[in-house]
Amino acid sequence: MTFNAAPTDLTGKVCLVTGASGGIGASAVAHFSALGATVYATDITDAFDGAATYKRFDLLSDDDLSGCCDWIAEIKPDVLFNNAALFAMGSVLDAGDLVQQDKLFGVNVRAFYAIMQACAKSMVEQKQLGSIINLASQAGHRGEALVAHYCATKAAVISYTQSTALALAPHKIRVNAISPGVIDTPMWATVDALFAKFENKEIGQKKCEVGEAVPLGYMGSPDDVARAAVFLASEQSSYLTAQTIGVDGGNVLR
């Protein structure tokens, strides 16, 4: 039997990674670069250490978001790893959480959509057979009492992924999402501290609990997510669109 083994090589591809300065984003930059891609990266920080051309944008700023979209038109990416997001927690009984809602929806939905739209327009204009990879979350598949806004934003990511995939299918542009579960990134120090505050736990307790609760028995790593992104960026996934891949150790059964 003969068969065509699709490559994971990304040589000649231009990849854009948002939220690139740490954790999952930094791992995606490293994986894409190692496989031969030309990588462009953006985040809100002024400091960036990675194999990519970097620009700083604050995605809550209309001017910066517009500037990022203009940059996309210049670099003409073949692959978008749409990763930038904010996380926060709070009680639905707290009237002040509308400020939190504005921030989370501003980055996780509004900016996410604008960047996806800019990449889609560029890919269509350039007649690129592009791949858009959106970062959802296991939180987008179910509600959580203290994480209502974040869950809602990630549910929106999944819905927009499906709709955009159908809209871009005639152009042979694939749009998929990754839903990470509990991933051991630097952000977990903040998440753990928030759970300690709201659930009256010891520092480090929540992180241990969520890792042990995963069916595979441990938290995932940023590399686990980046490897899924490589699959979606490469020809290995050429017949896959409008899907959300769970990288969660079995936490969410789909």
CA distance 181 to 173: 26
- pLDDT confidence of residue 59: 98
DSSP annotation of 62: H
pLDDT of 189 over the 80 cut: yes
Q: Is 239 a catalytic residue?
A: no
Measured in degrees and rounded to the nearest 5, phi and psi for residue 146 equal -100, 0
- pLDDT confidence of residue 51: 84
59-72 pLDDT tens trace: 999 999 999 999 99
- pLDDT confidence of residue 178: 98
CA distance 246 to 251: 9
Q: Is 15 exposed, middle or buried (0-12, 13-18, 19+ CB in 10 A)?
A: buried
Q: Which two tokens stand for residue 31?
A: 């994986």
Question: Which spans in 20-174 are helix H?
Answer: 23-34, 62-75, 97-105, 112-126, 148-168
For residue 127, give every residue at least 6 positions away whose Cβ sits within 8 Å of its Cβ, in sequence order, or none: 171
Per the CB < 8 A criterion, the answer to whether 15 and 81 are in contact is: yes
Average pLDDT for 167-182:
98
56-109 pLDDT tens trace: 999 999 999 999 999 999 999 999 999 999 999 988 887 568 899 999 999 999
| Parallel/antiparallel/unpaired status of strands 14-18 and 131-135 | unpaired
218-254 pLDDT tens trace: 999 999 999 999 999 999 999 999 999 999 999 999 8
CA distance 186 to 19: 13
For residue 190, give every residue at least 6 positions away whose Cβ sits within 8 Å of its Cβ, in sequence order, or none: 87
Average pLDDT for 1-29:
89
R_g (Cα) of the chain, nearest Å: 18
What domains can you pick out in the chain, each with its CATH number?
Answer: 14-184+221-247 (3.40.50.720)
CA distance 244 to 87: 20
CA distance 68 to 154: 21
Q: Which of 177, 102, 169, 164 is nearest to 138 (CA)?
A: 177
User: Is the Cα dihedral 21, 24, 27, 28 positive or negative?
Assistant: negative
CA distance 140 to 155: 4
User: Choosing from 40, 54, 150, 160, which is the catalytic residue?
Assistant: 150
